[in-house]
Amino acid sequence: GQQVMQIPQYQHVQEGEDFTTYCNSSTTLSNIQWYKQRPGGHPVFLIQLVKSGEVKKQKRLTFQFGEAKKNSSLHITATQTTDVGTYFCAGIYNTNAGKSTFGDGTTLTVKP
């Protein structure tokens, strides 16, 4: 079936260090979305990537979509304690099919 693999599962960093999480699919994606879930909270949408090779930035966050549209990454520069949470990617294979497939998430902890 269609699966989105996300690594790493956990990442512990010192405040100020960089952080990256990766999502990979065995088949081509149509779109990929990224969400953040704070501890005890609900997922909140960050961004959607649609085009092959697309790069989008939100302040210290950089999102990339691979040329083959099979992988994506989220990079945080100079982490802060407010970045703590679990980051999920959600792959959409067919925008007419009505389903998205979530990765298992990467949980980021930041030591002050």
Partner 1 sequence: NAGVTQTPKFQVLKTGQSMTLQCAQDMNHEYMSWYRQDPGMGLRLIHYSVGAGITDQGEVPNGYNVSRSTTEDFPLRLLSAAPSQTSVYFCASSYSIADEQFFGPGTRLTVL
Which residues form the interface with partner 1 (CB under 8 A)? Answer: 6, 9, 30-31, 33, 35, 41-45, 48, 88, 90, 92, 95, 97-105
Q: How many residues does the structure list for the chain?
A: 112
Q: Judge contact between 105 and 88, C-beta under 8 A.
A: yes
Q: Closest distance between partner 1 and the C-beta of residue 73, in Å? A: 17
For partner 1, the closer of residues 48 and 73 by Cβ is 48
For partner 1, the closer of residues 57 and 99 by Cβ is 99
At 11, list the tokens. Answer: 């990442």
Helix, strand and coil content of the chain, in percent to the nearest 5, comes to: 5, 55, 45
Q: Closest distance between partner 1 and the C-beta of residue 72, in Å? A: 15
Q: Closest distance between partner 1 and the C-beta of residue 19, in Å? A: 18
